[in-house]
Amino acid sequence: MSYTVTDARLLRINLTKKTIKVEKIEQELFRKFLGGRGLGSKYLIDEIDPKIDALSEANKLIFANGLLTGTFAPTGGRYMVVTKSPLTGTIASSNSGGFFGAEFRNTGFMMIIIEGKSAEPVYISINDEDVKIVDAKALWGLSTHETTDKLVEAFGVEGAKVACIGPAGENLSKIAAIMNDKHRAAGRSGVGAVMGSKNLKAIIVKGSRRVDIEQLEKFKEIVKVQNGMLKAHPVTGEGLPALGTKVLDNIINSNGLYPTRNFQSAIFSGVAEVCGEALVNKKYLQNNTACYGCVIACGREVALPNGLKGEGPEYESGWSLGADCGANDLIAITEANFLCNELGLDTISAGATIALAMELYEKGFIPKEDLEDMVEPRFGNSEAVVYYVKGMAYRETKLAAKMADGAYRLGKAYGHPELAMVVKKQELPAYDPRGVQGHGLQYATSNRGGCHVRGYMISPEILGVPEKLDPQALEGKPAWVKIFQDLTAVIDSAGLCLFSSFALGGDEYRDLINAVLNTELTTEETLKIGDRIWNLERQFNLAAGILPDQDTLPDRLLHEPLPDGPQKGCYSQLQKILPEYYQLRGWDEKGYIKTSTLKDLGLV
């Protein structure tokens, strides 16, 4: 049985009332928002008051497939979790790969909107049209791996896929992730805590309906060409399969922007021990793995000498749990990464929060009694990295309980929020913006707070793809940031992987979208969809009280020059380029969206 791409419906499940409804999605919405991040955001904004408490019953949790998720489009296996973030107070859109998204699309449902709160732990079971809310008391407290295994076994149909939370989400850690296929994370912005607040442990999906492409022959030809481009490109065809994202450790460190010891330095002396090359040469890497529909296969299947097995670390996770904490023990870093996956914590936020605890403790801002006799958080102590991952997930000690709510709240609790390396209360990823000006602007303006995947300016500014820009130059950067942000919103809403954009460009995404929507969008019109989604998210944030004064970076990155490395003496010059960015976005000089811009984008 098959159905056309835009014929998909949505499931509305109210956990308070235990009701399940099926609704049609208006065709016009696909043309305006595609799916995934865009479509999910549209529904969230229409249905909740942005000012609500993110962990209250009034918040909604939306699982949204991209327009192309589950088709055979290159890397077409990604889904998005859209909700209000308990970490940032902004809109949250957390993206994940693996196989859950494609299987979920096979049920014929484009989205699930979860409302209310169950009185007892439950999970949602979807087998095509057969949708149930099921008791999950026996699963509460289990790791994401145990939960997945038990659910798949109980479901009894081969090929079922699971997305679930671990103890971190149950304990409402504001940096909790939703994990699917055991190792893949909708990681950022605390979406796992929203799921936990609803007493929803998991969703299991199995579908037998296939997405039918109207212009099938044309689509096949486009996909063939684009898969060829991905295979032929040195980044997606060679670098990522061989070394995964950890190919970046040495690149970023050698360029002098590898944040070390909570961004106190940008050069890590231990990089040789923890880099992607070391993961291969030490023979920890067993295989590379691929998500649904992907010819890149950048995933890391790893086995450690101590017998532990799992996937990762990726570049960001290896950095946050490694260099940011001053730790150079690759085994401990990988173990901490596995624990984050099993307990359901976002690796970037977890590592960055531990790094802040280390700086606070070493500076004497955390009293020893708050440790409750557990390991001292000191830079370079890998035992502390592993312990505090677990400590945060279970809120085990006075200190770990505070850490469970992320770096900003930890810093604030001990009187030093300025030491938290966050934007809009979300922890920054693995690139020091003092060494890369456009990326700093992108951090400051990201609609979900500190994030590298809303407009990956590292690609042109450091990697030289599609062309090399001087990382310290300011001229032209606001325009680059805007285009990258708009294009990323398109890729996210199409359900494709951002890594495809190393080899594919706006024209390629336009062709895929046109073939399934039966439209003749130009590249400019395709990017305008991204611009619309960007402004839609901004509208939510402004209404939620996240105002333009939060389009900034931590003081350390604005005022303390880089202390070492090839970019010694540099600092972020955000204030010099932010006004031009506002202007290009069609916002007023204070950063509010002009009515004329909203009208042009069809948002009023």
Partner 1 sequence: MITIKFYSLLRLLVKIEQVELELADVPISTVLEEAAKKVKTPFLHKLVQDGKLITGTIILINGRNIHHLDKLNSRVQDGDEIALFPPGGGG
Binding site for partner 1 (CB under 8 A): 233-236, 238-240, 242-248, 250-251, 254-256, 276-277, 280, 298, 314-316, 452-453, 456, 458-459, 462-468, 470, 498-499, 502, 565-567
CA angle 154, 95, 540 (to 5 degrees): 120
- Give the three-state DSSP class for 248: helix
Q: How far is the CB of 116 from partner 1 (least distance, A)?
A: 36
Q: How far apart are CA 352 and CA 256, in angstroms?
A: 19
Nearer to partner 1, 45 or 280 (CB): 280
For residues 465 and 542, which CB has a smaller minimum distance to partner 1 in the complex?
Answer: 465
* Environment class of 590 (CB within 10 Å of its CB; exposed 0-12, middle 13-18, buried 19+): exposed
Smallest distance from partner 1 to CB 282, Å: 13
- Are the C-beta atoms of 279 and 348 separated by less than 8 Å? no
The nearer residue to partner 1, 480 or 502, going by C-beta atoms, is 502
* CA neighbor of 230 nearest in space, from 217, 219, 239, 243: 239
Cα separation, 184 vs 355, in Å, equals: 23
> Quick one: which of 269, 270, 392 has its CA closest to 339?
392
User: What is the smallest separation between the CB atom of 230 and partner 1, expressed in angstroms?
Assistant: 12
Amino acid at 528: K
Task: State the Cα–Cα distance between residues 90 and 408, nearest whole angstrom.
Answer: 15
Give the residue carrying structure tokens 């009694």: 369
What's the min distance (Å) between Cβ of 281 and partner 1? 8
Cα angle 211, 195, 63 (rounded to 5 degrees) comes to 15
- Spatial distance between the Cα atoms of 6 and 21, rounded to a whole number of angstroms: 19
Sheet holding 19-24, edge to edge: 19-24, 9-14, 109-115, 61-65, 79-84, 91-96
Q: How many CB atoms lie within 10 A of CB 87?
A: 31
Nearer to partner 1, 194 or 463 (CB): 463
Q: Of the two residues 264 and 442, which places its CB atom closer to partner 1 in the complex?
A: 442
Q: CB-based contacts of 170: which residues, under 8 Å, 6+ apart?
A: 140, 141, 196, 201
Supply the minimum distance, in Å, between the C-beta of residue 101 and partner 1: 19
Nearer to partner 1, 98 or 377 (CB): 98
CB 308, min distance to partner 1, A: 23
Sign of CA dihedral 563, 406, 495, 440: negative
Q: Smaller CB distance to partner 1: residue 234 or 476?
A: 234
- 391 vs 471, which CB is nearer to partner 1? 471
Instruction: Give every CB contact of residue 443 below 8 A, 6+ residues apart in sequence.
Output: 423, 428, 433, 450, 451, 452, 553
- Nearest distance, CB of residue 453 and partner 1, angstroms: 6
319 versus 540: smaller Cβ distance to partner 1 = 319
Considering beta carbons, is residue 566 or 602 the nearer one to partner 1?
566
Closest CA to 499 of 465, 528, 527: 465
In whole angstroms, how close is the CB of 64 to partner 1 at the nearest point? 22
